[in-house]
Amino acid sequence: MNNSIFIFPGQGSQKIGMGKDFYDHSPIAKEMIEKASQRVEIDFTTLLFEENDRLDQTEFAQPAILLVSLIAHRLFVEQCKVIPKVVLGHSLGEFSALSAASAMDYLDAVELVHQRGLLMKKACEGINAGMMALLGLDDATVENLTCKERELGKKVWAANYNGDGQIVIAGNRDDLVSLESLFKEAGAKKSVLLPMSVASHCPLLSSAQPKLEAYLDQWLKESFAMPIISNVTASEYQSKVEAKMLLSQQLISPVKYKQSILYVESSTDSFIEFGGSVLKGLNKRITQKPTYSITDMKSLEEVLALL
C-alpha cells in the first residue's frame, strides 16, 4: 500500500454524523472544525452532528464534505509518510484533492466550495434543475439519446461517468422525467431522480464560471506538491493556470470519474478514500485494485495497520 492513490468523495456522500468520531477523539479534528466554523460562519458541529435539512443543500453540503475529507487526510498524513503519485476526487472531491496536494489552504478551500455551492444554487434558480441516475446503459447510448433530445429542445446532458452501466444525467427536471420511458426502452434497468436542486456539470451552470475563476485566482497557490487528475480531461495537471481553467470548465463538463480511475490504475496497488465510502463502491465497478475508506478513527487505524 506504499503506492496508494488518494481519492476524495463528492456531493451525495454527506450524512448526519460524519466526522463525529474524529471530532470526539482528535484535538486536530476539533480545531479544524472550529476554525472552519469561524471562517465561513457555519456551525459545523450543528450541521454535521445534529438532525437538519441543510446538509443536503449544496452550499452547506460542499464545505461539510470537504472539511471531513481533509480532516481524515490530515489525521492520516500525521501518522503516515506515504506520498501518492497523484490525487483525485469526484466533482467537489477535486477541490479536496487540491488542498491535499498543498495547492490550497484547507480554510481557503472550505470558503471556496461554500461559495461554489452558492454560485451553483444561484445559476439554477428558476430553471427547475435536477439530476437523474441511470443504471444499465452504456456511455454511448446515453450520449446519443441525450444529444438527440437536445436537438428536439430538451435540456439534458450526461453529467457523471461513475462506472460501467452507471451514469448520472443533468438538466431540466421536467425534461429528465419525460425521458424515463425512453431510457427504459433503450435498456435502462433503473432511473432514479436524485434529491438535487442543482444541475451539476452541464451548461446550465455557465453563469457561475467567471466568479468561480475569480475565487480560484484568489486562493490557489502557484505550486502543487503533486499532480491532480482533472475530472474534465481524466489526465493530470499541476499548475494554478491549468487549475483555474479546468475547475471552471468542470462546472459545465461531465465528471470523467471512471476514466480517471482507469487512467491511474496501472500505476497503483490501491486507493485510499478520505471522509466517505461512496467511491469505494464505485471503484468496485471499475477496477480490481482495492479501495480503503477512512471515515472514523477505527478505519483510520485499520488502514494505517495495513501499511
pLDDT digits (tens, 9 = 90+) for 244-302: 999 999 999 999 999 999 999 999 999 999 999 999 999 999 999 999 999 999 999 99
Final residue of a structural domain among 171, 196, 221: 196
pLDDT digits (tens, 9 = 90+) for 86-112: 999 999 999 999 999 999 999 999 999
Q: What is the pTM of this model?
A: 0.96
47 and 191 both lie in a single domain: no
Q: What is the CATH number of the domain that holds 136?
A: 3.30.70.250
114 and 27 both lie in a single domain: yes
Q: What does each C-alpha distance from 85 to 5, 90, 103, 270 come to in angstroms?
A: 7, 17, 15, 12
Q: Give the separation between CA 79 and CA 116, rounded to whole angstroms.
A: 32
Would you mind telling me the total number of residues written for the chain in this entry?
Answer: 307
Model pLDDT, residue 196: 83
Can you read off the three cell numbers belonging to residue 3?
503506492
Q: Is 16 left (phi over 0), alpha (psi -120 to 50) or beta?
A: beta
pLDDT band at 82 (very low <50, low <70, confident <90, very high): confident
Burial zone of 175 (CB within 10 Å; 0-12 exposed, 13-18 middle, 19+ buried): buried
166 and 219 both lie in a single domain: no
pLDDT digits (tens, 9 = 90+) for 218-245: 999 998 999 999 999 999 999 999 999 9
85 and 208 both lie in a single domain: yes
Can you read off the three cell numbers belonging to residue 164?
460501467
Give percent above pLDDT 90 in the chain. 94
Nearest to 138 by CA among 164, 160, 105: 164
Model pLDDT, residue 1: 64
Number of structural domains found in the chain: 2
36 and 168 both lie in a single domain: no
Three-class SS state of 123: helix
Give percent above pLDDT 70 in the chain. 100
Judge whether residue 2 has pLDDT over 80. Answer: no
Model pLDDT, residue 180: 95
177 and 238 both lie in a single domain: no
Q: What is the mean pLDDT of residues 176-182?
A: 96
Q: Is the dihedral of CA 132, 157, 11, 275 positive or negative?
A: positive
Model pLDDT, residue 96: 98
250 and 143 both lie in a single domain: no
**Do 204 and 124 form a contact (C-beta atoms < 8 A)?**
yes
- Structural domain including 260 reads 4-123+204-306
176 and 217 both lie in a single domain: no
Model pLDDT, residue 195: 81
Q: Give the separation between CA 204 and CA 157, rounded to whole angstroms.
A: 10
Contacts of residue 50, defined as CB under 8 A and 6 or more positions apart, other chains included, come to 16
Q: What is the CATH number of the domain that holds 13?
A: 3.40.366.10
Q: Known catalytic residue: 25?
A: no
Model pLDDT, residue 81: 84
Q: Which residue has the cell 451514469?
A: 167
E strand or H helix at 78, and its extent?
A: helix 58-79
236 and 261 both lie in a single domain: yes
174 and 45 both lie in a single domain: no
**Do 166 and 134 form a contact (C-beta atoms < 8 A)?**
yes
Model pLDDT, residue 307: 84
Q: Which residue has the higher pLDDT, 190 or 82?
A: 190
Among the listed residues 91, 99, 200, 260, the single catalytic one is 91
Among the listed residues 201, 248, 260, 293, the single catalytic one is 201
Give the amino acid at 145: L
Final residue of a structural domain among 175, 196, 217: 196
24 and 74 both lie in a single domain: yes
Final residue of a structural domain among 196, 227, 255: 196
**Do 205 and 199 form a contact (C-beta atoms < 8 A)?**
yes
Model pLDDT, residue 177: 96
What's phi and psi for 274, nearest 5 deg? -110, 120
pLDDT digits (tens, 9 = 90+) for 70-81: 999 999 999 998
135 and 100 both lie in a single domain: no
Model pLDDT, residue 12: 86
Q: Known catalytic residue: 201?
A: yes
